[in-house]
Amino acid sequence: MSEPDKPIGVGIVGLSAAGGWAAGSHLPALAAVDGIELRALAASSEASARAAGAAYGVPAHTSVEALAADAGVDLVVVAVKVPRHRELVLPALEARVPVLSEWPLAVDLREAEEMLRAAGTTRTFVGLQGRSSPTFRWLADLVSQGYVGEVLSVTVVASSTEWGSPVSRRGVYTLDRALGATMLTIAFAPAIDLVSMVVGEIRDVVATTATRRRQVPLEDTGQLVPMTAEDQIAISGTVPGGAVLSAHHRGGAVHGAGFSMVIDGTEGALEVSGAEFPHIGPVVVRGARGRGRLAELALPDGYDRYPALAGTVVHTLTHAYAAIRDDLVHGTAVAPDFAHAVRRHRLLDAITRSAATGQRITVQSSTGTPGG
């Protein structure tokens, strides 16, 4: 793997000359991090590859196999829609090239477990970049250091404008539960991942889900299209130490989207609030010790390595790329990997099974043991 004085070469699948998420987020994040840089890309056709290669000034390939074989590529980044992740991740893993896949890793748990097995000893990473958030790393430290005392309960309320509001033709696939990019996977899961980072993994879960809007209008024509994805998700469970966690995520919010988490403990409380996607957007933290009133808390020095990017959608992704660089260079294991992705997929699978059966489900870790 790369030496510290040799930048890690990144090859991106899904980097288009027309823009999109990879161009708008991955490129500026890479540009902000020393020791890692774009070296190549892969596109689905000769024409799109030529256009993207010319736009970004790097070699362009028409297959992930060719991208993984590129001598300048030390890390393959898969930044396309989730239904294509498996077909793109597996060839890169077969070539034994480290892979960063956007979250969700897979359309379901079975597919995620297959990719984890295929990885073997090859380094893998998953796009749950919220775990690199300076604010949430600080929150995890506050709780572990006893700011609230023993955690008694955790209450999460979140809402999304999507999954009920008019949808673009490009976004119609997110309405189909079978395609793996639903409110459960791309809105609820990254948020509950942050909650788990702060208070611990959910050990057991009881869930109620519903699709309250069975049809959603297209933005351009108003034509109604079917929706099978859940737009209401409510869960309760326990975390290590016995604290009770409850979370309710609502879709199609008429009055805007947002995220709130309240941690209540024997010695104090913490309240976190922010925009719809706390893993990529800024949040405000308020805290109180004893019976004092909640007051806004400031992030201490030492957590934010890229303060100039604070408040932007690339802030946490930039920190994630720095963690990935360090993991590859120094052999550390800070950035979340495919094993962590499987752990999160297993929680989503438990939620789905509980909602279908009405039973409390014990959540299995990525190693197959209860808890995780």
Q: What is the DSSP string of 57-116?
A: TS-EESSHHHHHH-TT-SEEEE-S-GGGHHHHHHHHHHTT--EEEPSS-SSSHHHHHHHH
pLDDT of residue 184: 98
Print pLDDT tens along the chain (372 aa): 444 578 999 999 999 999 999 999 999 999 999 999 999 999 989 999 999 999 999 999 999 999 999 999 999 999 999 999 999 999 999 999 999 999 999 999 999 999 999 999 999 999 999 999 999 999 999 999 999 999 999 999 999 999 999 999 999 999 999 999 999 999 999 999 999 999 999 999 999 999 999 999 999 999 999 999 999 999 999 999 999 999 999 999 988 889 999 999 999 999 999 988 999 999 999 999 998 899 999 999 999 999 999 999 999 999 999 999 999 999 999 999 999 999 999 999 999 999 999 999 999 764 433 333
Distance CA 72, CA 181 (A): 32
pLDDT of residue 369: 34
CA distances from 89 to 65, 85, 114, 129, 173 (A): 10, 6, 11, 18, 20
For residues 190 and 130, the answer to whether their CB atoms sit within 8 Å is yes
Residue 31: both structure tokens together: 């540009």
pLDDT of residue 4: 52
CATH topology of domain 133-295+338-362: Dihydrodipicolinate Reductase; domain 2 (3.30.360)
Distance CA 11, CA 75 (A): 6
Span between the terminal Cα atoms of the chain, in Å: 30
What are the boundaries of each domain within the chain? 8-130, 133-295+338-362
pLDDT of residue 364: 78
For residues 70 and 11, the answer to whether their CB atoms sit within 8 Å is yes
Architecture of domain 8-130: 3-Layer(aba) Sandwich (3.40)
pTM of the shown model = 0.95
Q: Is 51 left (phi over 0), alpha (psi -120 to 50) or beta?
A: alpha
